[in-house]
Amino acid sequence: MIEVCLIGAGGRMGLEIVRTLSADSETQLQSALGRSHAGQDAGELAGIAANGVVLSTDLSATLGGKRPDVALDVSVPGAVMGNARECIKAGVPLVIGATGISESDVSVLDGLARDAGVPVLIAPNFAIGAILMMRFAAEAARHFDNAEILEFHHPKKLDAPSGTAFKTALLMREARGTDFERVGGDDANAPGARGGQIGGIALHSIRQPGFLAHQEVILGMAGQTLHIRHDAISRECYMPGVLLAIKRVRDLEAGVHFGLEHVM
């Protein structure tokens, strides 16, 4: 049985994970962190039977007790670095599902994790379909000169572009070996209208009610376009990837591994 410390247990994603761990025969919620619902039973909060795991706000004290097998952080971007430092210091393998982590932060965590001999998996997206979308986009990037990414999320999404869009652009640029060609007019009349730029790829972030998480990669060349799209209809789509990460992160080498594909 893999005992899990869940950070961000009181959020929408966290509550879905509490329900998933309860139904899985190989994992168990050992401890839970959450500021908004501190002191409440995680099971009752998630709408299932009480499980005796009470949400705490002190990660250091939690890790200082009975050490979990794996920690999973689905909290907010601003808390990730502090949480990761605590987990690495305690020697606990870590899965980070929160997005908005900068490249410099990844580099810092990689050094800390290597020194401590701890594997860390950063998963900008847990949906298997989204990982395949990124893989297909990277393959297509070798054959097209122009590309744009549109990502659609709910209004409470904190970062822009999303971690998935950012990683997709990096993978596409790496696969192509050079920047994409920028096309179209300027945005002098409305600065930002052409989106943010990564490797010549324009990224557009849409935040509207009615969306959960959606991304479309559009690649073009003379006379044709290719659309690669993934739609997350409910947070259930993330749960197979969450379980996969929890069960396999301990098999990874020490250091940071960026992307769920490292355990697929």
- Catalytic residues, by residue number, are 153, 157
Can you give the C-alpha Rg of the chain in angstroms?
Answer: 19
Closest CA to 167 of 114, 214, 101: 101
E strands present in the chain: 2-7, 27-33, 55-56, 70-73, 94-96, 119-122, 146-153, 196-198, 201-207, 213-221, 224-232, 255-258
Q: Strand, helix or coil at 78?
A: helix
Cis peptide before 161 (omega within 30 of 0): yes
The Cβ of residue 109 has, within 10 Å, a number of other Cβ atoms equal to 23
Closest CA to 228 of 131, 88, 116: 131
Q: Strand, helix or coil at 71?
A: strand
